[in-house]
Chains A and B, each alone.
Chain A
């Protein structure tokens, strides 16, 4: 969000993703998550802690909703789609939903940031610039998915007592008190892959790297890749499910396909495609 955009054509900027071409994207990183395969085991979430230097805040701060889990598994007990309340027992099990930043193309978090600490990158990511963030928390307030996490405290001493600090990933920072953070789609891995590709004078190859969550997933429920590359695995999933970016409502030729985006109707244009969970009845 530049000043020129802000003053020039706000509405065009705001709707740029729908009309297309307003942003010049180099890549557009996206995900597809198959809830038929996801078992809710938490492997992705802990892998994210390991990769992204997420602070362990402890029981009390977790109770105050200050946990820093960029990727959390939500668990629901009802099944509105199947219309059942499962009477005396939870006969159809649980419904698990891995939730990470949806990297919305029309992100509600971005325009409310007073200092443009969160903005849209040419990779189609919602970037968070930690040393620009002043901690207003407007972005978190405006995120319909509740996927932004604020550092109310400095966790360096409490979360990584020596020698646990030696595990910290040097490819990204440890965030300090007063800044907002969230899933970046493992931007450090994206950066490394892009740098390597540039050094080798080639394009980034689909599958040459992965986000930590997708890499760890025992069922391979998570597919990550560049949606501008029509041959990428993730593009194929979106296409097969007839879900398109830039739409608040999908008009699928085959309405039985499982692909959907969470709270799509809010027109946030998330880049995480979910494939519905399947139950026998």
Chain B
């Protein structure tokens, strides 16, 4: 970047030889708050300069972002042994050089003042700091004799060689108990995709679509692979400019960028999809032969009038949406959390996917990805059912040992699950984490992990772009704390005890990974020698993989729709919305993300409750007033934000805040709407139906200024954000991209 003379390849060879310790670029760690005179006894001159370190010159190294499961490639700037900044890797087909705010803030996880620097072990009821060796000895003592299924892993989504190693570890003890838990997941759609298309995670071609209809799939914010889709979205909006229509109970970031944003009664998305199909078949004479007769019969019941009655969406809007889909072909219809997370989530998602079949999008804008060719490295995708399964097992007393990694279930589990009580029944709980949180507070041993920027690893994202990518994760600096280990190293250490024959020969995870990479199929190595292959992969930070993709199927299942009955005691629907930023709460301890306002409401450092102006008027509340939101599981209080981007029967409270014990930035701040979620699951997949909760709202009488950026929501006739119609745009810039 800054034109330095260092040959990157040479540097990376050096990194390769030195392994994790290669980033031993000692030197100026301290900021210049001490003058040279004051600190002279601490100043060490570069008598023998560190190899490849030029004071004052930053060098960029490639790695892979771990802030969510999308697997964006990054470049990290290292200067005098410190990691200073991360940027997107322009070579990565996932993010093409872009990086979201969570990726940018990965640095603050790495340097977080609340990171654990030493293991904690429970002694006389409280967690005390001990050395790594002592904690490790205890882990080995308590876990090595435990047989097979008496031990379980509860993790977030894992992939790459760590996932492979974890599977090997499970095999070595004969356990199948690996529960992959993610709050923000796409499990319901995956199940529908599997049944209808024959592939759980197909590829979406935003670049080919001329219209996108999203039922709560916040693909610009929190859905599947946001940075990738955001890049694709920019192409979709260029040239002939596609139309984006969003149907959801609460405006997401994607909704905020729509041409037509439609508010819908939660849980009725499937009915609207059938209503749109009805208009397509009757008014637009779309060929219905792609659908089985039973599906056409189901669709025939949902005339626009009936759809309006159930969904609250006006009949002319239903027609308008259908007309867009008819005129702008091929289109792409997506579904996300607000459509899925209901008792009828699967039905709704199936009805929504049916629109793709009816419109002939399958094979056009939805195609097979072919799947990552090395199966053991593919992502183990998370679900929320996994949490319930784990809790049930723990509750039965069937577990002696639990390892928890990449998840904070005590925080994210709904209160009705009584997760903490069930977890307490596991005799020995090991948490592998960077931070103390609500879950580690219950652990018997807390093993502090090295940060993603101090660890070796690989990552295969669940959603793969057109160029399939294996993300390479390399340490960008020396570990901040000596008593931490990378996740891979922990897995390897466990395996060495259980399968010494196969794993004893690896000194560390780096050695394992380096060897494992050379074991990849020859086709992926493009004829390179072991050393050359390793060097280029580490240097580029990724490996591009090609595969052949079969055609997708297009089965349409039973489309019968059942919608929940109105509950008079609890007149409102709770929408616990996800934020690109704090995510499910895991990033609430990163001050940049706390201070960055929510994209839509512009609230910072706190929780809020979104209400429609009509609802607010009916309740007699205004912005800043505190309301009490009560479900059958409990109540939360939050300040009101009033805007027209929420359905009048809905109160939307974002996830992410409400931590009890998650460091100085997150603790005792806001509320966690997941806690009051009712005990409802999707009937087909068993996923926790987080959007199916009915609540009542009462005024508390308290009020204060809502912490929200900006004064005016109005431009007062000034051209601050100019807007033109798409017709004008297509006339001037359509067809070809004006530079």
Contact = CB atoms under 8 A, between A and B. Distances in A.
Interface of A: 35-37, 39-43, 45-47, 49-51, 56-59, 62-63, 67, 69, 72-82, 86, 88-97, 156, 159, 161-170, 174, 192-193, 196, 199-200, 209, 212, 215-221, 233, 236-237, 240, 254, 256-258, 260, 262-263, 274, 276-281
Give the 4 A-B residue pairs with the shortest CB-CB distance, closest first: A218-B98, A276-B722, A219-B234, A280-B259
Nearest to A241: B738
B377 interface: no
B85 A51 contact: yes
Interface string B37-57: 000000000000000000010
Given A62-B707, A254-B732, A162 B113 contact: yes
B644 interface: yes
B227 interface: yes
B105 to A, nearest CB: 6
Contacts of B605: 58-59, 62
B258 A92 contact: yes
B436 to A, nearest CB: 16
A93 B258 contact: yes
B644 A219 contact: no
B260 A82 contact: no
B220 interface: yes
Given A75-B602, A278-B729, 7 more contacts: A39-B253, A50-B104, A59-B606, A216-B104, A219-B230, A220-B98, A281-B259
Given A41-B580, A90-B645, A279 B723 contact: yes
Interface of B: 1-3, 29, 31-33, 56, 79-80, 82-88, 95, 97-101, 103-105, 107-108, 110-113, 220-221, 226-227, 230-231, 233-234, 237-238, 241, 243, 246, 251, 253, 255-263, 480, 580-581, 591-597, 599-600, 602, 604-606, 614, 643-645, 664, 705, 707, 709-710, 712-715, 717-726, 728-729, 731-733, 738-739
Contacts of A89: 261-263, 644-645
Given A63-B707, A89-B645, A280-B260, A97 B720 contact: yes
B100 A166 contact: no
23 contacts: A36-B729, A40-B256, A41-B230, A43-B103, A43-B104, A72-B709, A73-B599, A82-B723, A82-B725, A90-B251, A92-B258, A93-B259, A167-B82, A169-B85, A170-B56, A170-B80, A218-B95, A219-B234, A240-B739, A256-B728, A260-B719, A263-B720, A274-B722
A93 B261 contact: yes
A258 B732 contact: yes
A43 B243 CA distance: 24
A260 to B, nearest CB: 5
A41 B101 contact: yes
Contacts of A45: 101, 596
Contact of B99 (A90, A92, A216): A216
A105 B463 CA distance: 46
Nearest to A173: B32
Contacts of A36: 237-238, 241, 729
A49 B257 contact: no
Given A233-B739, A278-B726, A220 B237 contact: no
Contacts of A56: 591-592, 594-595
B724 A62 contact: no
Nearest to B645: A90
A178 to B, nearest CB: 17
Given A41-B220, A75-B599, A92 B715 contact: no
Contact of B260 (A49, A91, A94, A240): A91
Given A76-B713, A92-B259, A46 B729 contact: no
A64 to B, nearest CB: 10
Contacts, number: 287
Nearest to A192: B2
A90 B722 contact: no
A35 B234 contact: no
A174 B480 CA distance: 23
Contact of B261 (A37, A90, A161, A237): A90
B230 A218 contact: yes
Nearest to B113: A161
B104 A258 contact: no
A280 B253 contact: no
Contacts of A166: 29, 31, 82, 111, 480
A279 B237 CA distance: 10
A192 B101 CA distance: 25
Given A75-B710, A78-B715, A164 B113 contact: yes
B100 A95 contact: no
Nearest to B606: A59
B724 A258 contact: yes
B486 to A, nearest CB: 18
Given A43-B99, A62-B595, A217-B98, A278 B723 contact: yes
Contact of B644 (A77, A162, A256): A77
A73 B82 CA distance: 30
Nearest to B105: A46
Contacts of A69: 595
A196 B3 contact: yes
Nearest to B3: A196
B99 A279 contact: no
A258 B722 contact: yes
A67 B99 contact: no
A42 B739 contact: no
A264 to B, nearest CB: 8
B714 A94 contact: no
Contact of A163 (B113, B241, B253): B113
Nearest to A258: B724
A79 B32 CA distance: 49
Nearest to A59: B605
Contacts of A254: 732
A167 B480 CA distance: 12
B600 A280 contact: no
Contacts of B712: 76
Nearest to A217: B98
B461 to A, nearest CB: 15
Contact of B724 (A50, A59, A93, A256): A256
Nearest to B733: A258
A216 to B, nearest CB: 5
Contacts of B110: 167
A197 to B, nearest CB: 8
Contact of B720 (A76, A162, A281): A76
Contact of A75 (B592, B595, B600): B600
A86 B723 CA distance: 14
A97 B722 CA distance: 10
Contacts of B594: 56
A263 B599 contact: no
Given A43-B100, A67-B709, A50 B85 contact: yes
Nearest to A280: B259
Given A72-B709, A256-B731, A278-B723, A42 B261 contact: no
Given A200-B3, A277-B721, A218 B231 contact: yes
A62 B713 contact: no
B83 A218 contact: no
A254 B256 CA distance: 29
A219 B726 contact: no
A216 B98 contact: yes
B723 A277 contact: yes
A92 B261 contact: yes
A201 to B, nearest CB: 12
A39 B108 contact: no
A276 B720 CA distance: 9
A276 B111 contact: no
The CB with the most chain B CB atoms within 10 A, among A43, A72, A164, is that of A43
In this complex, which of A41, A49, A77, A263 has the most chain B Cβ atoms within 10 angstroms of its Cβ? A41
B723 A81 contact: yes
A218 B227 contact: yes
Contacts of B705: 63
A70 to B, nearest CB: 13
A86 B644 contact: yes
